[in-house]
Every structure is written in C-alpha cells, then in structure tokens.
Structure 1
Amino acid sequence: MKQIVTLLLSILIVSSCCSKSTLERARTNIFPKGGKVTNNNFTGNVWLQMLGQEEQTLNTGVGNVTFEPGARTKWHLHPGGQIILVTDGIGYYQEKGQPKKILHKGDVIKCPANVEHWHGASENSYFVQIAVTDNKKGSVEWLQPVTEEEYHK
C-alpha cells in the first residue's frame, strides 16, 4: 500500500509543475470519473472508478470517487484502515465522536483500522478523492446513514 500511495503522491506533485492550461486539463481528466454508484451505501450521487481494479497482489483497493454537492457515504469502517487523498473540491470527513473536518485539494486523511467514519462533499462543492484501502483484513463494514443533523453540524 505504501508503494501505491507514493506513486499517487508523485503524480500529484508532478502535476503541480505544469502550465495552467495543462494543470486545468489534469484537474478534470487525471483519472476517469467512472460509473454512477447504485447501491444504498451513499446519500446523493456518487461516481466510482477503480484504479488497477481490486489489486490482488497487494490486497489493496484504490478508487477515484467523485461526490456531487451534498453527497456522502454512510458511517462505515475498514478493518485494514483507509487513506483518503483529496484531489479536488471541498469535502468533509468525520470520525465517530470527533468534530467534522473540512477537506481541500491536497489534504491527506489517514483513517485507522476499525474506526467508524464518513466522508463526502460539502453542501456547495463537488468533492473528488482517491481512496486507498488495505483489504487484507476484510471488506468495508457499512453502518447507518449520516443524518442531516450530523452532516450539517
């Protein structure tokens, strides 16, 4: 997982050296938006593009996730932890019992194993993230939806 995170961070650093027009193209096209998520683990419209599919050799899932304004995950946890790399927009991240964090392009969130959390877009901005998940210890455990009160708090 460390090698994948290093590679992704290198791509983001190299893109910061580009001219404005190249950087604007990279901002919208660096990874495909993917297909619309149709399960009930999200509120609002969300798109997912798995990168490298579910990497079997490294037991790591890497996905480019795009949230429309107001869209978010349910509360959930990852038995192997998760790293979130923010690539565009303004988003939120909250661990159970902690204050909500506001996320911006370039932020990195390290969510420890088995910590209940949720993440998604702010009310007025799309939010794009690369989610890196260690799948060696099991799959994501989806919990209850984030209430409107929790989201707006």
Structure 2
Amino acid sequence: MGPGPKINPSTPISWTEASIEAIYKATTEASFSDAFDAFFAEQVEITVNGSHVRRSDYKAEIWQRKADQLSAGVTFKDVVQVNADDNKVVQVGAFYNATITDHLVHTNTVTSSSNFTVEQGELVVFSGESERSRRVVALNETQLYVLGREG
C-alpha cells in the first residue's frame, strides 16, 4: 500500500484571498466577525493611508460599510508572496477591489493595495486534511473608498 494522496495545504496567497472574500461576503455580523477574527491576530498592527488604526476601529469601519449589504464581490488584480528564511513569517501583497451593493442598489467600492505580514504556525493534519495556523500580525494598506450611486 502506497503513502496515499499528497496533501497540499493552502498557500498564504490562497488563504489571504479566501479570508478577504469571507470578510466582504459575510452576510451576518457573526459570520463577518468570525472571518475577521480568523484573519487578523488580536494584537495586529494596522496602518491605513499612513495612519495607525486600532483593530476594533478597522473592524467596525468594514462592518459599517457592509452592514446594509445586499451582495458583495472581490476581484484580485494581483497577489504576491515573499517568504522569510524560516518560513514562519510571510509577506503577502494584494491589490484588489471589493464591491458592495446595498439594499438601495448603491454599489460602493473599496480599492486596496495591502501588504500583510502573516505569521504561520506548524502544519497540522486533521482527518486527512492539513492545515497551518495563520494570522495577519501587521497590515499596511493604501485604500480608496468610493460611495456609489444607484445602479
């Protein structure tokens, strides 16, 4: 009997993309909070447009923008990754647009160029699936938020 199928854990890039999508596509405050907390470390350092932002304020700002959300989508223009020598810290750069349509049929857009510092834990295998614990410990983001008009 052979070694079985090779388990390929998600990459930091795919994890980052999936996490950002989960945050913007969450339809309840509970699912949004779960997605946000799974992505950002409790002690994350956040800088947006050159200003330091507390984690709680950043979380509240994103939720406020999507609280009346009818639908949302995320389009990634480019995502890159650079590993540290020990592979415990990874830099992920993502350029993306998030569009949020509210119940008044206004489409609002977040355009973001984000640099995430991701700390990776050890690789763990659960029920035949491998997973690596990851959290963003620093975010440096340049962001433009545009309120839309009726679609």
TM-score, length-scaled by structure 1: 0.27
Structure number with bigger Rg:
2
Higher strand proportion (structure 1 or 2): 2
Higher helix proportion (structure 1 or 2): 2
